[in-house]
Amino acid sequence: MLGWSINLFRIRGIQVALHASFLLLLGWMAYAGFRDGGVSGMVWSAATTVAFFTCVVLHELGHSFTGMHFGVHVRRILLMPIGGMAQFDAIPRQPRQELLMTIAGPAVNFAIAGILWFMVDYPDQGDLLGAPASLADLGRYLLAANLVMGIFNLLPIFPMDGGRILRALLATRLPYLRATAVAATIGKVLAIIAAVIALYAGNYLLMILFTFIFVTGDAEYRAIRHQEAAQAHWEEMMRHLSRAPRAEPPFLDQPPLLPPKAPEGELGP
């Protein structure tokens, strides 16, 4: 499923890609804007969607650039209707590095909101109910959206940013696998509660998001558990090999291939 993507561009070697399903979201938002405001509404609705997901890309780049500083290779950033996902070869197991790498994403959102705070008026509830129809409206919408995005990602639901922060803090006191298990368990419980609330409220996209978070969090914990088991297996094998007595080379018990050399002054047979 994640392979159905369209490559857009690269930033510092990081491929930014668009999942094919994102086009359905963009088309739906454009249709909703056209239905409510004609061609102008369609353009503003599509532009708002693109601007919002530009902030999502910046959020993921915050994670990615910090990870690259610690030597982590970033394969790509994938945009989906439910958000963005940076795909790393590995997550640092040093709690401090993971903590800084994780905080960097929401920090970008709060920085964007801080910049917009000085450029536009703070949005009230009325501004957020209708679709943006001017640059000022778009700025107010993005100010609120970045605040919500930053706070939302800090929820302690693994593998969201808040869940990774929780895992990093637990890893300062617990083994890495145990810290992951605790963070993943808390995250799954909260994800189920949030999905039920979203379903009850009729927000099906949010329900799908929390279901996806539940599945990916469980999958990441299983992958780490498998890695730990494989590493323990190889370490035990190496210890066993280092304790085993060395066998004599097999060729020492074989007869020589040539007869012994005759002493000087004697003839051979």
Burial 202-211, CB ≥16 within 10 A → b, else e: eeeebbebbb
Amino acid 197: pLDDT: 94
Check pLDDT > 60 for residue 233: yes
Neighbours of 74 (CB within 10 A): 21
Between CA 18 and CA 31 the distance in angstroms is: 20
Of 118, 92, 82, nearest in space to 176 by CA: 92
Q: What is the mean pLDDT of residues 16-43?
A: 88
pLDDT in tens, 54-65: 999 999 999 999
- Length of the chain, in residues: 269
Parse the chain into domains and list their residue ranges: 1-154, 155-242
pLDDT in tens, 173-214: 999 889 999 999 999 999 999 999 999 998 888 898 899 899
Check pLDDT > 80 for residue 132: no
DSSP for 195-261, written as a single string: HHHHHHHT-HHHHHHHHHHHHHHHHHHHHHHHHHHHHHHHHHHHHHHHHSPPPPPGGGGSPPSSPPP
* Average of per-residue pLDDT values in the chain: 83
Active site positions, annotated: 60
Work out the pLDDT band at 262, boundaries 50, 70, 90. Answer: very low
